[in-house]
A and B are shown apart, each in its own frame.
Chain A
């Protein structure tokens, strides 16, 4: 079964500083990968998804970007953080096969922008 790793677990960054969050997946190949943000009172918001290396789609215009340099590595970045970027960031992977599709989530990164 697949395992999703995220780091760091928590991060406190000043406004205007850069950001890099990393997600890696074990136990599966060629997965679809997703970045979500969970903010208080707003539920889970899909930020980016990727169906393969260097294939990234953005769901909403924002201050963030994503990259997928390797099959099982997904990176979320920002050049200059805003206060509104604070939240709980979750990476997810999907498992496909035999007519089924299921998403699994990593442990998340708590980002506080001060």
Chain B
């Protein structure tokens, strides 16, 4: 059974700090890994997707890395802002037959950026 773990469960930082969120998965046969953001009471917004053949992806102040051999991914947020406050979820995609995939989610990291 695939398991995805996120550390830390919660993180509070001052504005402007660079930070790293961690995600680990037990099965290295992932198809890709996706990072999401969730604001309170809202759905999930996709931030970055890393294919299994890739090492990293960047979007603005966000950079996500993937190391399949060690079963780890990190989300790096540069120069954090109060608007970055949210829960960040990572999810690993695994095949359930043919070209069909399912996501296994971590429980998320609740990030608070203090002004």
Contacts and interface: CB of A to CB of B under 8 A. Distances in A.
Interface of A: 4, 32, 34, 41-44, 46, 49, 51, 88, 90, 92, 94, 96, 99-108, 110
A101 B93 contact: yes
Interface residues of B: mostly helix, strand, loop or mixed?
strand
B105 A102 contact: no
Contact of B106 (A43, A92, A99, A107): A43
Interface in B31-46: 31-32, 34, 36, 41-46
A-side interface mostly: strand
Interface of B: 31-32, 34, 36, 41-46, 49, 51, 89, 91, 93, 96, 99-103, 105-108
B43 A108 contact: yes
Given A44-B105, A49-B96, A106-B43, 7 more contacts: A34-B102, A43-B89, A43-B107, A44-B89, A94-B101, A105-B36, A105-B46
